[in-house]
A and B are shown apart, each in its own frame.
Chain A
């Protein structure tokens, strides 16, 4: 059967499920309502090794394979997508780029605390006027004695205000266009890094996303990640992995919506029988199952390819496109199956419907995924 999981992968998935069900699930609804960041849970996940899963033990991580990471994310997304995104950002776009592009000193200084969960990290690419078109970013890095000074604004920064080290893209050589963008590791505790108050989001309400203003924020020469001009390369490498992570998050949310729907279809009665005996509801459930299964296989395939070090830009984009669009549809049907109760904040499908919506937007919108896919088909 594809994929055949190893014993280790199953043990890690079970450990994630166990912790998710016993520790994350119980407070998820209350945290969503209060927009409360799950600090304790994130700390515990860090202690257990879930914040730097694929980072080798020597750098503070758990040293497990990429598919194990994806399986864990899916389990956690089933119970709380806010926790899942916090974890995904730290693993995929904070730890991974430092692991791949970082110097030994950067790994000791930044990767170790990030991967061991001692501090939380993030990724600063998007700006108020540069989202999908990342190359249009304007944040400027000017050379000063011993390093660089960053000036500009970053938008939609997950883990802003709660995280410390951020992989940050800025223009070092404006005359070189796209090739003039470089990546740095920015310490948010430095003077000149201003985190605004968290955005009022539709969903993922207990995760934190903020606007950041950089005013002469200093990064040392040693904080340059990769070479000068490697900024977009660093960012896109992180996003390839990040996309598989977000796709896994979507699969987790969708599976939960399906599980809730099946249970409800059994117990809710109308016209003298459980609604699950009405053919219309059955076709919804069947279609939901088909899309979740298909999504999961795409996600696992991309994860396995990434784990083997194969190029997987096409597969990651396909998985993200299909899994997130499907998950949005699945959650929409779940609300429909729940009827009026699906519109109530007392039922989990209402939260799933809000939480899932962003998955077709962040780490590359569906429109951008289609461009990526088509480009590799036509090249």
Chain B
């Protein structure tokens, strides 16, 4: 079996986000970059299939040189090969098109990705990729198995679980709960340093959408302290809820 895992590098969720001078992108200063958490589930699922059924796992990511950290980490975790698609595309359709151009005709049985990129939250690349390749897809997957006929996936839907079966090849996007990602072993870390990351100029079309502004949420007003004894505080709280917050 041949598996491709698409990984995205994103700012650490603990980063204090600052808007850059252009007013529409992230100020990269002080940003710690990590692999998008949903992509970690995607990679872990591929590695488990490799261990249980035997598979060759290739990881791919779009971006510049900094993205190599994400790929190197995936190699340390157990991926067999890594490909950097050099591109500065960030629009979902452009990214999906570049990934599809790379994946096409390479004989991947499964393509895993996160159900969305952390931070951007577009939830588009996976489905678009499946459409562009004309193959099956299951998204927001919390349980996955390869069957004789293809695959069986459980997806999280509003208020329940939906079970989907389909044929391979397929694109599967991972959701929290699918598995518990491993840590890299020291052996893996050392071995990863010796593997090479293949670099390919990506063929990404111009984006279909563009970010025109990035704005931080308005600062929360400061808290207010209610004075007086318990009864007075309760009365003040009641008034605030009713007249100001208009809760009821």
Given contacts A57-B187, A62-B186, A62-B190, 12 further A-B contacts (CB under 8 A): A11-B189, A11-B193, A12-B189, A15-B183, A15-B186, A18-B183, A23-B183, A48-B185, A49-B187, A62-B185, A62-B187, A64-B190
Of B184, B186, B190, B193, chain A has the most CB atoms within 10 Å of the CB of B186
B44 → A minimal CB distance (Å): 14
- In the bound complex, residues from chain B placing their C-beta under 8 Å from that of A62 are 185-187, 190
B186 touching A49, Cβ below 8 Å: yes
A277 to B189, CA, bound (A): 44
Q: Does A165 contact B (CB under 8 A)?
A: no
Q: Using a CB–CB distance below 8 Å, which chain A residues touch chain B?
A: 7-8, 11-12, 15, 18-19, 23, 44, 47-50, 53, 57, 62-64
* Distance between A177 CB and nearest chain B CB, rounded to angstroms: 42
B113 to chain A: closest CB distance in Å? 23
In the complex, what residues of B have CB within 8 A of residue A57's CB?
187
Closest partner residue, chain B, to A44 (CB atom): B183
> Is B183's CB under 8 angstroms from A19's CB?
yes
Residues of A within 8 A of B187 (CB): 49, 57, 62-63
Task: Determine if B186 and A12 form an interchain contact, defined as CB atoms under 8 angstroms apart.
Answer: yes
B72 to chain A: closest residue by CB: A11
Q: How close is B60's CB to chain A, nearest CB, in angstroms?
A: 22
Alpha-carbon distance between A12 and B186 when the two chains are bound, in angstroms: 7
**A63, B184: Cβ atoms under 8 Å?**
no
Q: Give a binary string over B226-241; 1 marks a CB under 8 Å from any A CB, 0 the rest.
A: 0000000000000000
Q: Are A53 and B186 in contact (CB under 8 A)?
A: yes
Q: Is the CB of B184 within 8 A of A15?
A: yes
Chain B residues with a Cβ under 8 A of chain A = 183-187, 189-190, 193
Q: Which chain A residues lie closer than 8 Å to B185 at the CB level? A: 47-49, 62
Residues of chain B within 8 A of A64, CB atoms compared: 186, 190
Cα A7 to Cα B69 with chains together (Å): 13
Chain A residues near B186 (CB, 8 Å)? 12, 15, 48-50, 53, 62, 64
Is the beta-carbon distance between A8 and B190 smaller than 8 angstroms?
Answer: yes
Residues A48 and B184 in contact, CB atoms below 8 Å apart: yes
CB-CB under 8 A from A53, the residues of chain B are: 186
Kindly state the separation between the CA atoms of A48 and B58 in the bound complex, as whole angstroms. Answer: 22
Distance to closest chain B CB from A217 (angstroms): 34
Contacts of A19 in B (CB 8 A): 183
B189: chain A residues within 8 A (beta carbon): 8, 11-12, 15
Residues of B within 8 A of A50 (CB): 186
Measured CA separation A236–B184 after assembly (Å): 34
Identify the closest chain A residue to B191 (Cβ): A57
- Say how far A27's CB is from chain B's closest CB, in angstroms: 16
| A52 and chain B: residue at smallest CB distance | B186
| Chain A proximity of B12: nearest CB distance (Å) | 12
In this complex, what residue of A is CB-closest to B182?
A: A47
26 residue pairs A–B, Cβ–Cβ below 8 Å: A7-B193, A8-B189, A8-B193, A11-B189, A11-B190, A12-B186, A15-B184, A15-B186, A15-B189, A18-B183, A19-B183, A47-B185, A48-B183, A48-B185, A48-B186, A49-B185, A49-B186, A50-B186, A53-B186, A57-B187, A62-B185, A62-B187, A63-B187, A63-B190, A64-B186, A64-B190
CA distance A53 to B185 in the complex (A): 11
Question: What CA separation (Å) do A296 and B191 show in the bound complex?
Answer: 29
Chain B residues, Cβ within 8 Å of A12: 186, 189
Shortest Cβ distance from residue A63 to the other chain B in the assembled complex, whole angstroms = 7
Q: How far is the CB of B71 from chain A (nearest CB, A)?
A: 14
Q: How far is the CA of A47 from the CA of B78 in the complex (A)?
A: 14
Closest 3 CB pairs of A and B: A49-B186, A62-B186, A48-B185
> Which residues from chain A contact B190 at a C-beta distance below 8 Å?
8, 11, 62-64
Question: CA–CA, A28 to B143, complex, Å?
Answer: 32
Question: How many angstroms between the C-alpha atoms of A18 and B187 in the bound complex?
Answer: 16
Q: Of all chain B residues, which has the CB nearest A48?
A: B185
Contacts of A7 on B, CB cut-off 8 Å? 193
The CA-CA distance from A358 to B187 in the complex, in Å, is 32
Task: Point out the residues of chain B lying under 8 angstroms from A15, CB to CB.
Answer: 183-184, 186, 189
User: Chain A's nearest CB lies how many Å from the CB of B9?
Assistant: 16
Q: Roughly how many angstroms separate A53 CA and B193 CA in the complex, as a whole number?
A: 17
Closest residue on chain B to residue A53 by CB atoms: B186
**Within the assembled complex, what's the spacing in Å between the Cα atoms of A47 and B190?**
15
Q: State in angstroms the CA–CA spacing of A12 and B193 once bound together.
A: 12
Chain A: minimal CB distance from B215 (Å): 31
CA distance A57 to B191 in the complex (A): 12
Q: Tell me how far the C-beta of A72 lies from the nearest C-beta in chain B, rounded to whole angstroms.
A: 9
Give A19 to B185 CA distance when docked, in angstroms.
11
Q: Which residues of B contact A63 (CB under 8 A)?
A: 187, 190
Query: A204 vs B186: C-alpha distance in the bound complex, in angstroms?
Result: 26
Q: Min CB distance, B72 to chain A, in Å?
A: 9
A8 to B186, CA, bound (A): 10
Separation in Å of the A301 CB from the closest CB of chain B? Answer: 23
Measured CB to CB, the nearest residue on chain A to B189 is A11
A64 CA / B187 CA spacing, docked (Å): 9
B216 CB to closest chain A CB, in angstroms?
25
Q: For the complex formed, measure the closest distance between the CB of B205 and the CB atoms of chain A, giving whole angstroms.
A: 37
Shortest CB distance A74–B (Å) = 16
Contacts of B183 in A (CB 8 A): 15, 18-19, 23, 44, 48
Residue of A nearest to B184 (CB): A15
CA distance A8 to B191 in the complex (A): 10
Q: Chain B nearest CB: distance from A300 CB in Å?
A: 19
CB distance from B120 to the nearest CB of A (A): 24
Residues of A within 8 A of B193 (CB): 7-8, 11
Q: Give complex CA distance A15, B186 in Å.
A: 8
Q: How far is the CA of A36 from the CA of B185 in the complex (A)?
A: 25
In angstroms, Cα B187 to Cα A15, docked, is 12
In the bound complex, CA of A128 to CA of B187 (Å): 40
| Smallest CB separation, A18 vs chain B (Å) | 7
